[in-house]
């Protein structure tokens, strides 16, 4: 039995892949590919909640109410039993696949080792780690949009000084995973259409699992797309008024706001000027070359083949008129979502009849 663990990165089609696995669970099982449920429905986020250090409180742990080391330890004990019970039902010789981009949060060797310890008893052959990497300048832009959805307050000009800049050093990211699972079990895929099987993400992903076609399977539409330049700035300015959490619980009103704004995001996406993109990528040139050689066997050291396009910057921006327009559309969106208003008897009277 081989287990494929798809760990991200974020903004590389992970939500779309998870929707594909979830919607085709039964049909994939008929083809010998098992998509477990114990670790989560569509997103196997409980693996991260299990493996993160007790001192960490991420979004998943907040949603699950795991806000103290004691609760985390109790969750781990229960989850181990539930996961083992499901794993024992997997047919011999099958392929198992689990997906959760939040597993990319596991950066410490102890966290990765904890996850490996959970999975190892149920994999008679190997555990393969699938990781898609997006060119860093594009990842920078899409990550900014995602952070705004998550409640970020600062403008993108402040991101370069962020401690999370280490996220873009992919070689550094891979080290604990390669050390724990073995470099030969790390499957690196550049997130570029031209480098994908049949230039398609779903074909590329299922090919890793040993499938050769998508016939009879449901292909979902692209999920969780980035916001455009205007809506990202609008939401950033709204974020102080709609915090992500209230009393350590997810704010449901904010979730509705983000979902509504996503429907209005149809304008030009965020872009770096080509000169800025090239300069940004130069920070990771050596790291990318080492990944290309060590994980993909490319002597030329080329990880990403697409080059930054020669185009002007499209930065987060918002005029007063644009803010009013978005606000009006949000109001209209909220009214469509509400049930029709029932009129009382007096409201049905024509004012002309009372004159």
pLDDT the model gives residue 336: 77
Q: Do residues 187 and 130 touch, judged by C-beta distance below 8 A?
A: yes
Query: Would residue 209 count as lying in a domain?
Result: yes
pLDDT in tens, 43-55: 999 999 999 999 9
Distance CA 145, CA 84 (A): 37
- Higher per-residue confidence, 204 vs 167: 204
Query: Is the link from the previous residue into 275 a cis peptide, with omega within 30 of 0?
Result: no
pLDDT the model gives residue 162: 52
pLDDT the model gives residue 309: 87
pLDDT in tens, 209-245: 999 989 999 999 887 778 898 999 999 999 999 998 8
Distance CA 335, CA 329 (A): 10
Query: Would residue 11 count as lying in a domain?
Result: yes
Structure tokens at 246: 């209230």
Q: For residue 160, what is the DSSP state?
A: G
Query: Would residue 90 count as lying in a domain?
Result: yes
**Nearest residue to 112 via CA among 174, 171, 55, 68:** 174
Structure tokens at 308: 């930054």
Query: Would residue 335 count as lying in a domain?
Result: no
Query: Would residue 176 count as lying in a domain?
Result: yes
Q: What is the CATH number of the domain that holds 128?
A: 3.40.50
Q: Do residues 90 and 1 touch, judged by C-beta distance below 8 A?
A: yes
Distance CA 254, CA 251 (A): 5
The model's confidence at residue 343, banded by pLDDT at 50, 70 and 90, is very low
Q: Do residues 118 and 83 touch, judged by C-beta distance below 8 A?
A: yes
What total of structural domains would you count in the chain?
1
Distance CA 108, CA 205 (A): 27
Structure tokens at 47: 């693996």
pLDDT the model gives residue 354: 36
Query: Would residue 263 count as lying in a domain?
Result: no
**Nearest residue to 258 via CA among 349, 338, 173, 152:** 152
pLDDT in tens, 193-213: 999 999 999 999 999 999 998
Distance CA 197, CA 204 (A): 5
β-sheet bridge partners, residue 246: 249
Distance CA 139, CA 135 (A): 6
The model's confidence at residue 248, banded by pLDDT at 50, 70 and 90, is confident
Q: Domain of 12?
A: 2-135+165-221
Kindly report whether the global pTM for this prediction surpasses the value 0.75: yes
Structure tokens at 214: 């998508």
Q: DSSP string of 18-72?
A: HHHHHHTHHHHHHTTEE--STT-SSS-THHHHHHS-TT---HHHHHHT--SHHHH
Distance CA 316, CA 147 (A): 13
Query: Would residue 355 count as lying in a domain?
Result: no
Half-sphere exposure of 13 (CA within 13 A, CB side): 24
325: helix, strand or coil:
helix
Query: Would residue 286 count as lying in a domain?
Result: no
Half-sphere exposure of 74 (CA within 13 A, CB side): 8
């Amino acid at each position: 039995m081989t287990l494929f663990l798809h760990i991200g990165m974020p903004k590389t089609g992970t939500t779309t892949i998870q929707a594909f696995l979830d919607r085709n669970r039964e049909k994939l099982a008929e083809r010998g590919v098992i998509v477990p449920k114990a670790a989560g429905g569509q997103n196997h986020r409980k693996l991260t909640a299990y493996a993160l250090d007790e001192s960490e409180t991420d979004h998943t742990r907040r949603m699950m109410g795991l806000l103290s080391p004691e609760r985390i330890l109790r969750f781990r004990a229960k989850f181990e039993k539930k996961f083992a019970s499901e794993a024992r039902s997997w047919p011999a010789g099958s392929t198992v696949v689990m997906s959760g981009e939040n597993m990319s949060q596991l950066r410490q060797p102890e966290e990765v080792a904890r996850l490996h310890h959970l999975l190892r008893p149920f994999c008679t052959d190997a555990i393969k780690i699938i990781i898609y990497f997006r060119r860093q300048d594009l990842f920078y832009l899409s990550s900014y949009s995602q952070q705004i959805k998550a409640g970020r307050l600062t403008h993108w000009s402040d991101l370069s000084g962020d401690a999370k800049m280490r996220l873009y050093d992919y070689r550094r990211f891979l080290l604990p995973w390669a050390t724990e699972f073995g470099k030969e079990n790390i499957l690196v895929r550049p997130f570029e259409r031209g480098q994908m099987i049949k230039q398609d993400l779903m074909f590329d992903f299922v090919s890793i699992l040993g499938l050769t076609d998508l016939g009879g399977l449901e292909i979902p539409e692209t999920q969780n797309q980035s916001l455009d330049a205007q809506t990202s700035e609008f939401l950033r300015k709204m974020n102080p008024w709609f915090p992500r959490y209230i009393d350590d619980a997810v704010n449901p009103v904010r979730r509705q706001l983000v979902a509504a704004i996503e429907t209005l995001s149809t304008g030009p996406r965020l872009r770096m000027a080509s000169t800025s993109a090239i300069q940004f990528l130069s920070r990771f040139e050596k790291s990318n070359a080492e990944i290309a050689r060590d994980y993909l066997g490319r002597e030329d050291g080329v990880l990403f083949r697409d080059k930054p396009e020669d185009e002007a910057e499209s930065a987060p921006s918002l005029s007063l008129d644009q803010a009013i327009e978005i606000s009006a559309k949000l109001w209209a969106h909220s009214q469509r979502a509400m049930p029709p208003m029932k009129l009382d008897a007096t409201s049905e009277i024509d004012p002309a009849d009372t004159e």
